Amino acid sequence: MDAAMVDRLSAGEGWALLQSLPPYDEAASLGLQGRLRDAGFAADLVAAALTQSRLRARAADKFGEFAAGMLFTPDGLEQATRLPVAARHAHRYAAAGIREVHDLGCGVGADAMALAGLDLTVHAVDADDVTARVAAVNLRHWPSAHVTHGLAEDVCLPDVAGPSHLGLWLDPARRVSGVADISGRTKRVFSLDAISPSWQQVQAFAARVPATGAKLSPAFPHRALPPGTEAQWTSWNGEVLECAVWWGPLATTPGRTASVATEASTWLVTEADAEEGTRRPPLGSVAEVGEWLYEPDRAVIRAGLTGALVDAVEGAELAGGVGYVSSRAAHEVAWARRFRVLEAMPLSTKHLARWLRDHGHDRVTIKKRGVTLDADQLRRQLKMTGRGRGGSEATLVLTRVGGGQVALVVAPA
């Protein structure tokens, strides 16, 4: 989709066509395309409208009912902030007294929509002309939001020396424009220097405007966190979506935090929560594994705050950095899963296969962390095919304890 097609889809015949389409159905799309062309619609307009219909169907998971009135690009939808998470971003600015935000790298406009929804003035910019036009369509309901096509680095910003109502939000591009992977999608980048604007440029923006926030990859390295800032890893229904770094008045809890969110609730885990548990040494041998195994939400693991779970369940991590925590007591922790340990043994394919057969298992679900084993290969070695034996399924946790690889057979509590 080029800029001209965005303009055609967002007005007149194109918008009417797009809004008249039935709910997207992949199986029916070819027939619908033919009927629309027979009705006199241009072939390129029909193809673009059906692509938008497909993207809107995918976007409903992130944007809910708003998706039905929006335009998207494939990359823009993939990188867009989920709307409830964008709302949390926006509330940070509002709570800090920020009234005007420059959204540098606005994408399809998710965060700008959330900011404008709180009556903040939003100046949104995107380096891609098509994406900027798409964002303008998505922000059309908010007169306080304006979108321009340009580079974040070229935006003229004032130097803010003291308290101010001005804030910045950056969502650096993590895909290389014009460079495609084997699937035809633009190539993803992972280095902080390869994102655009780069991490160095993001920090330079924050030096000029203290109330700055930046959305980064969940792989953001802890060592890169500037002093006095807050890095918050956010998960939604168990999926880690981002690490957002906050400066100045937006850093409500300096250091590393984890936000574990669902449709109904949000839990915050901080370095203070993890301080006591971090001091406790991990287990020394498989013989020390307790009756209960706990797995924290992945945002907690990414944030390096497994110590909070260690403290909450009065246990110990199996090994430094693996994230699994063992305890002899049963506790309910909202942001962790609990399993009963049925067996714990050093990892030996022969011994593990025998134990599984003796206990009537003919198939396995494998969870692994801290080991490099190939799960499919191990399943074949264990001969856990589940073909016609009438056995049951076992859940295996493959990880490390005391420097060695271990296998835990567990059951959800």
pLDDT for residue 147 is more than 70: yes
pLDDT in tens, 52-84: 999 999 999 999 999 999 999 999 999 999 999
Strand order in the sheet with 239-246: 145-149, 121-126, 100-104, 166-170, 212-216, 239-246, 230-236, 255-261, 266-270
**Whole-number pLDDT of residue 86:** 98
pLDDT in tens, 323-347: 999 999 999 999 999 999 999 999 9
Task: Note the pLDDT tens digit of each residue in 261-316.
Answer: 999 999 999 999 999 999 999 999 999 999 999 999 999 999 999 999 999 999 99
Q: What are the distances in angstroms from CA 384 to CA 177, 311, 352?
A: 45, 37, 11
Instruction: Give the pLDDT confidence of 149-181 residue by residue, as tens digits.
Output: 999 999 988 777 767 899 999 999 876 655 555
Residue 404 burial (10 A CB sphere; 0-12, 13-18, 19+): exposed
